[in-house]
Amino acid sequence: MYYYLLIPAIIFALYAQLKVKLTFSKYSDINNQHGYTAKEVARRILDDNGLYNVSIEYIAGELTDHYDPTTNVIRLSESVYNSTSVAAIGVAAHEVGHAIQHAQGYTPIKIRQAIIPVTQIGSRLAVPLVLLGIVISAFDWLIPVGILLYTGVVLFQAVTLPVEFNASGRALRTLDDNLILYKDEVKQARKVLSAAAMTYVAAMFSALMSLLRLIAIANGGRRRR
């Protein structure tokens, strides 16, 4: 009966995923007027910020782009790497934004990295711990432990929002200030990154609804004892 709490989150997540795919597809058909590839733009921004040690690699898939701080590598997907589209340029610049965040010690990204272990544990063990605490009265102390662990998942998603928004903001300012894209192209890139940002908002909302569901399950289990 508590699954109804997840319905709005599921709908929102599906909408966000569809939105980003349609927006990226739309602006993938519009090439930047300078003819730069996404890889070239990423390399230029990295070098302008003195990040010569950050490499750029190709990765299979669509919208699998990411920055890996453990290896100092930006990986651009096949739909971005050699593309000259406005959408690809925006995505590549966004990933460079993450590399710059790490290099400058951006506080939210440091917090996010620090709570990753708690998030991994919480996502796996929170529900089993709560259910075990409900079923076995002697272990009811596991209920608040499970809820606390899942709160770490919500915190991770919350901290992810400023990290992603900041990376997009850095990307768009750089593309505009350095004249990498023309004004109308920057607006188009902004639409792509805004659509992508919605997926992180959806993830945050989903995590919050899952936490509320877990609390509702715990309260319901206690009342039935």
Task: Please give the positions annotated as active site.
Answer: 95
Enumerate residues 6+ apart whose C-beta is below 8 A from 150: 122, 123, 126, 127, 210, 211, 214
How far is Cα 130 from Cα 140, in angstroms, rounded to an integer? Answer: 8
Enumerate residues 6+ apart whose C-beta is below 8 A from 84: 31, 32, 35, 36, 37, 38
User: Which residue in this structure is represented by tokens 């058909």?
Assistant: 29
Joined together, the tokens standing for residue 124 give: 């796996």
Q: Looking at the chain, list the stretches that DSSP marks H as alpha helix, in order from N- to C-terminal side.
A: 7-27, 38-48, 86-104, 107-135, 142-177, 183-223
